[in-house]
């Protein structure tokens, strides 16, 4: 069977199942089965696909039809300038999170000779910590997660990307395993409230780890805790940067203001024009 027919049929089935990017998903899964790049067969759509490869593709297509995200099927996801290993112990890194990385990099524009200490709370696959380490050779990162399985994945990604010498991984609840001070603290914490969680798409709710998503009744539990505890680990004038859900800017700004410990509170929008990152500077202890 030629590539063209396989892709067309799978894309049609995926579209009927309500999958948002049916053709792209079919192409990625076929490329994964054939161990090649999508472009390799898109240039030559009449290329025949061997029966064993077709059988493997059909198994993967069935998983996709049931709602499993492509990244968990292939075990990999592009983020920043690299490809990360992912599995169902980690959130699939989202492009929106690259905005948090960009904001942190703006704050790191110091001379190349200055070491900068950064803490990533809830590192998951390691996405944010690895992106920052890859861009700032003198950055020293600490990356934490409550999930041992997530940390194992993050460590593996750091090894693959040869960034392990820059990052210490610690398991524990938020700041509990951390006894250091940092210039920058970043986090993309869980931020889904109870009602919203019930309405999540199947691919998220049934496959992504609940502990990476759920954040109490109103989705703000982690913001309250991190905003309260971060000053105890930030150097004077250090920055806290938090990814937020697109409707959470006002309540999270309220949390920052109410703590009285921060100045220069601002919101950065993502490329869809939605509020995505809040950053604030720790006030100098007087």
Ligand X SMILES: C[S@@+](CC[C@H](N)C(=O)[O-])C[C@H]1O[C@@H](n2cnc3c(N)ncnc32)[C@H](O)[C@@H]1O
The contact mask relative to ligand X for 70-99 (x = CB under 6 A, - = no) is: --------------------xx-x---x--
Q: What gap in Å lies between CA 117 and CA 99, rounded to an integer?
A: 20
Residues in 35-74 at the binding interface with ligand X, rule: CB under 6 A:
none
Place of tokens 């049916």: 22
Q: Say how many residues touch ligand X, by CB under 6 A.
A: 23
According to the binding rule CB under 6 A, does residue 173 interact with ligand X?
A: yes
CB of 250 to ligand X, least distance (A): 20
Q: Supply angle C-alpha 26, 208, 182, rounded to 5.
A: 120
According to the binding rule CB under 6 A, does residue 278 interact with ligand X?
A: no
| 214 CB-near residues (< 8 Å, 6+ apart) | 190, 192, 194, 197
Binder among 22, 69, 189, 219 for ligand X (CB under 6 A)? 189
Residues in 135-154 at the binding interface with ligand X, rule: CB under 6 A:
144-147, 150
Q: What gap in Å lies between CA 14 and CA 158, rounded to an integer?
A: 34
Nearest to ligand X of 6, 90 (CB atom) = 90
Q: What gap in Å lies between CA 187 and CA 194, rounded to an integer?
A: 21
CB of 273 to ligand X, least distance (A): 20
Nearest to ligand X of 190, 231 (CB atom) = 190
The rounded Cα 247 to chain-centroid distance in angstroms is 19
* Alpha-carbon dihedral sign for residues 34, 36, 37, 41: negative
| Sole window of 26-34, 102-110, 124-132, 134-142 interacting with ligand X (rule: CB under 6 A) | 124-132
Nearest to ligand X of 3, 140 (CB atom) = 140
- Which of 208, 207, 279, 267 has its CA nearest to residue 237? 279
Q: Supply angle C-alpha 151, 163, 160, rounded to 5.
A: 70
Beta strands in 36-189 (DSSP E): 76-79, 82-85, 116-121, 139-145, 167-171, 182-187
Phi-psi region of 237 (alpha: psi -120 to 50; beta: other; left: phi over 0): left
CB of 156 to ligand X, least distance (A): 14
CB of 58 to ligand X, least distance (A): 30
Backbone angles phi, psi at 242, to 5 degrees: -125, 130
CB of 63 to ligand X, least distance (A): 22
Place of tokens 């999540």: 200
CB of 46 to ligand X, least distance (A): 39
CB of 125 to ligand X, least distance (A): 6
CB of 12 to ligand X, least distance (A): 32
Binder among 11, 69, 123, 231 for ligand X (CB under 6 A)? 123
| Sole window of 121-129, 193-201, 228-236, 251-259 interacting with ligand X (rule: CB under 6 A) | 121-129
According to the binding rule CB under 6 A, does residue 219 interact with ligand X?
A: no
Both tokens of 281, joined, read 């500077």
Nearest to ligand X of 22, 245 (CB atom) = 245
Chain residues that interact with ligand X, rule: CB under 6 A: 90-91, 93, 97, 121-125, 127-128, 144-147, 150, 173-174, 188-190, 211-212
């Amino acid at each position: 069977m030629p590539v063209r027919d396989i892709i067309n049929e799978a894309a049609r089935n995926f579209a009927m199942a309500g999958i948002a990017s049916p053709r792209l998903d079919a192409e990625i899964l076929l490329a994964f089965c054939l161990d090649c790049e999508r472009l390799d067969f898109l240039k030559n759509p009449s290329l025949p696909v061997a029966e064993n490869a077709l059988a493997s593709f059909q198994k993967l297509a069935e998983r996709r039809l049931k709602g499993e995200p492509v990244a968990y099927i292939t075990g990999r996801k592009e983020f920043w300038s690299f490809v990360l290993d992912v599995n169902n112990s980690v959130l699939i890194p989202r492009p929106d999170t690259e905005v948090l990385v960009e904001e942190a990099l703006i704050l790191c524009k110091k001379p190349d000779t200055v070491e900068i200490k950064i803490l990533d709370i809830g590192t998951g696959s390691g996405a944010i910590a690895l992106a920052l380490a890859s861009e700032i050779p003198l950055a020293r990162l600490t990356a934490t997660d409550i999930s041992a399985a997530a940390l194992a994945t993050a460590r593996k990604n750091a090894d693959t990307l040869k960034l392990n010498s820059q990052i210490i991984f610690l398991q524990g609840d938020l700041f509990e395993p951390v006894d250091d001070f940092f210039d920058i603290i970043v986090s993309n914490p869980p931020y889904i409230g109870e009602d919203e969680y019930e309405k999540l798409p199947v691919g998220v709710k049934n496959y992504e780890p609940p502990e990476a998503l759920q954040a109490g009744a109103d989705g703000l539990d982690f913001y309250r805790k991190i905003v309260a505890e971060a000053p105890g680990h930030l150097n004077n004038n250090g920055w806290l940067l938090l990814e937020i859900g697109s409707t959470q800017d006002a309540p999270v700004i309220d949390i920052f203001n109410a703590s009285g410990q921060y100045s220069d509170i601002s919101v950065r929008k993502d490329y869809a024009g939605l509020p995505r990152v809040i950053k604030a500077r720790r006030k100098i202890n007087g």
